Amino acid sequence: MITCRKMTAPDVSDAFKMLSVFLSEDEHYRASSQAYGDRGIQGLNDALYLFLEHPDLGFVWMAYDDEGVAGICVICYAVSTSMGALVAKLDDVSVKADRRGEGIGTVLIKALKEQLTKESVTRIDVAVHLQNPEARAFYERLGFQPLNEERLACVI
C-alpha cells in the first residue's frame, strides 16, 4: 500500500536523501542544472528548510510504501494571470530506482492532484526535458497536455 503526504520536519532526512540522489544522478536534470544555478547539497538543504518555514511557498510531496520513502516531488505555488487563480509548479519528480514500474509515480501524482484540489489549486505545470520521452508519456497518461513551449532560465 502506498500513502502520500506533505513533508514534515521528521521527514527531512528522507527527503534530503531521495532528492540528493535525483539531483546528482538524473541525466536530464544534470543536463540543465548549470542553467538552473544548481547549488548542490547546500541548495537542496536550504530549499527543504524553506518549505518547512514557509508552507505558503509550496511543499515536498512524499510517497511511502512498506519499505519507507518510495517517491517524491516538489510543488511551488504561483498565481496564474490567465486563470486568475493559484497554480502549482511541479519539479524533481522521482521514484526510487528499485521501485520503478510498480505504479508509485502514478499514485504519487494522483494523490498530489487530490491534495491540490483540496487547496483550490487549479492547474499543475511541469517541464519535461526534450530528451526524456518516457517522462513526457508518463505525464500525458496522467492528463497533462503539451504546451508547445520551451522553458528558459536566467540565474540573477
Taking only the tens place, the pLDDT of each residue in 113-137 is 999 999 999 999 999 998 999 999 9
Give the mean pLDDT per block of 10 residues along the chain (156 residues).
97 96 90 88 96 98 96 97 96 95 96 98 94 94 92 88
Asked whether residue 151 is assigned to any structural domain, the reply reads no
Prediction pTM value: 0.93
- Residues with Cβ within 8 Å of residue 121, at least 6 apart in sequence: 77, 85, 86, 87, 88
Find the domain containing 19 and state its range: 3-141
Domain CATH number, residue 71: 3.40.630.30
Closest CA to 146 of 117, 131, 125: 125
